[in-house]
Homo-oligomer: A and B are copies of this chain.
Amino acid sequence: MPDMDIEAFRDAAHRTVDWMAAYLTSLAEYPVLPRVSPGDLRLALPDRPPAVHEEFEAVLADVERLLLPATTHWQAPGFMAYFASTASAPGILGEMLAATFNANAMLWRTSPAATELEQVATDWLRQLLGLPGGLFGIINDTASSNTLCALAAAREAQTDLRIRDAGMTGRELPRLRYYTSSEAHSSVEKAGIVLGFGREGCRRVGVDDAFRMDVAALRASIGEDVAAGHRPVAVVATVGTTSTTSVDPVAAIAAICAEYGLWLHVDAAYAGSAAVAPELRWVLDGAELADSIVVNPHKWLFTPLDCSVLWTRRPDVLRDAFSIVPEYLTSAQDAAPAAPNFMDYGVSLGRRFRALKLWMVMRHFGATGLAAAVREHCTFAATLAARVRESEDFELMAPAPLSVVCLRAHPARRAGEPDLDALNARVLDRVNARGRYFLSHTRLHGRYVIRVAFGNLRTTGAHADGVWDELRGALSAEVG
C-alpha cells in the first residue's frame, strides 16, 4: 500500500479534527486516571504487526475503543498532578503545521524558517519574561536536556582541563563539583551522572523554612571543596521547585558564583513562565545574572510537549561543548552570524520545528492573555491555601507563592506522624480513584504531602473549587 493520496489524507484529517474536537469537548466525562492495570492495553492489541494495509477507519476506531480507556487525561480540567502541560488550541494547530512541513532544523539551510522563527520566538518569550537582551535562545525537548546542556557548558568552561578533547579518565583531574538545593529536580542530578560528575559530584545544599536554598550553606560547601582541592564548576538555582514551587535567592547565589567563577544555571522550568504577569516578575529576580536559564513553555505556557527554552549569555561556550561538524553537514552559510546551526548547541542532530507552536501560542494569547491565565491559576492556589489555613482538618505544608498548594489532612482528633502519612496516602488514592481529579504527592521533612497543582488551562473556577470539596469528602470517608 502506498501513502494515502492527498484527497484521502484531507478526508482522514478532517475526520481526525472532528474526533479531536469531540475528545476535547468530552474531557470531563472520563476518569482522569484510567481504570486499567499494567498490560491491559498490550494484551488487547495484536502481538504481530499487520502484513498489509489497514483502513484509517479501523485505526481511529481502535484509538477510541482501546487507547482512550487507557489514557491519563492530561487535558482534563481535573488534572492537577505534577505540573500541568496544556495543549492549547493554537499549540495543537502549530503541531499540525509542523508535522506537515516536517522540517529538520539542524542547520540554518535545512530550514531557515524554523531556525529564524526559533530565534524570534525565544526572543519574544525573553521579552515577555522581562529577561535582559543579548541572550542566545534555543529550544530543546525538555528541561532535563537543557540542564544537561548547561552543565556541559559549565564543564567546558574549565578550559584548562581540556575535557572535550582529552576526556575525564586516565589522567589526573581535580574532582568536579556542582551545587544545587535539596529541593532541586532529579534531572539536575541525572545530568551530572551523564556528564561524569557522578552523584557525589552534585552537592545538595540545604534549604530554609520556605524550601529555598540556604546561601550560607552554599558558600560553606564551596569553601570546603576549594579547601579540599576540588573544582567547583556550577550552581543550579531553582525558580519553582517541583515539590513546593519555592524560589531560590538567585541574586545572592549569583554573587557567590561571580566570586568563585562558577557557571550559574537557573532552572525556571515551571515558574519562569509566571514572569509573564508583571506582578510575578519577581520570580526571575537575579536571573539576569545567570549564565543560562531554562523555562518550559510546555509546562505553564500552554504549548504542547515538548518545548523547553534555554537561554545563555555564553553561546560560544555552549557551542564548544557540543559542536562537531563533519563534511556532510557543512554549508555555505556556516560562517554567517545570522544563520546559526542549532545542531551545534546540543546533543541532538535532528530537531523538530518546535518554534512554530510557541510562536502561534504567543500570537493567540498575547502578553495580556498569558498573564491573565497564569494569574488565574495563582488565584486558584491562593484561594485553596486560604481554605486549608482556615480548616481544622487540613494543614498547609509549605508556602504557596505560585500555583501549587502542598497540604495534608490532619484532623484535630488524630495525631501521630506514621498514621498521618498513611491517612494522606489513602485520601489521595480515594480522590484519584473517584476519577474527577488526579493529584500527586511529595514528601517534605519526611512527611507525606498532597500536592494540588493548578496550571492547566482547562481548569475552571468550578473545578478549582471542586478539588477542595473532593479532598474534604475523601477525608470524611476515611475518618468517618
Q: A103 touches which one: B53, B72, B104, B195 (CB < 8 A)?
A: B72
Neighbour of A38 across the interface among B114, B194, B339, B368, CB < 8 A: B339
Q: Is the CB of B169 within 8 A of A173?
A: yes
Whether A364 touches B54, Cβ cut-off 8 Å, given contacts A72-B109, A113-B70, is yes
Q: Are A9 and B92 in contact (CB under 8 A)?
A: yes
Instruction: Tell whether A298 is near chain B: CB-to-CB under 8 Å.
Output: yes
Query: Would A100 and B92 count as touching, CB distance under 8 A?
Result: yes
Q: Are A119 and B42 in contact (CB under 8 A)?
A: yes
A379 within 8 A of B: no
By a CB distance below 8 angstroms, the chain B residues around A306 are 348, 350-352
Judge if A242 is at the interface, Cβ distance under 8 Å.
Answer: yes
A293 contacts B by Cβ under 8 Å: no
Complex CA gap A467/B317 in Å reads 41
Question: Residue of B at shortest CB range from A444?
Answer: B327
The chain B residue sitting closest to A183, CB to CB, is B326
Copies in the complex: 2
Q: Is A41 interfacial (CB 8 A cutoff)? A: yes
Complex partner residue of A41 from B116, B349, B440, CB under 8 angstroms: B116
For A302, the chain B residues whose CB sits under 8 A away are 3
Interface string of A105-126 (1 = CB under 8 A from B): 0001111111011011001110
A325 to chain B, nearest CB (A): 7
B51-A368 in contact (CB<8A): yes
In the bound assembly, the distance between CA atoms of A10 and B22 in angstroms comes to: 9
Within 8 A of B (CB), among A43-89: 45, 47-54, 56, 58-59, 63, 67-68, 70-75, 81-82, 85-89
* Bound CA span A85–B101, Å: 10
By CB atoms of chain B within 10 A, which of A1, A7, A49, A81 has the most?
A: A49
Contacts of A434 in B (CB 8 A): none
Residue interface bits A347-359, CB-to-B below 8 A is 1, else 0: 1111110001000
Contact A4 B364 (CB under 8 A): yes
Assess A367 versus B163: contact at CB under 8 Å? Given A16-B93, A96-B99, A102-B74. no
Question: What is the CA–CA distance of A262 and B356 in the complex, to the nearest angstrom?
Answer: 43
A23, CB-defined interface residue at 8 Å: yes
Stretch at the interface among A196-204, A281-289, A383-391: A196-204
> Which stretch, A209-217, A248-256, A328-336, touches the partner chain B?
A328-336
The 5 nearest A-B residue pairs measured at CB: A170-B175, A167-B198, A196-B196, A38-B339, A87-B102
9 further A-B pairs in the complex, CB-CB below 8 A; given A38-B337, A74-B101 = A2-B457, A41-B113, A45-B116, A53-B368, A58-B363, A165-B199, A167-B201, A168-B169, A186-B349
List 17 A-B residue pairs with CB atoms under 8 Å apart, sorted by A's residue number: A1-B366, A38-B339, A41-B116, A41-B117, A47-B123, A48-B124, A48-B127, A49-B362, A67-B113, A71-B114, A186-B324, A193-B321, A194-B322, A298-B350, A305-B352, A306-B351, A347-B347
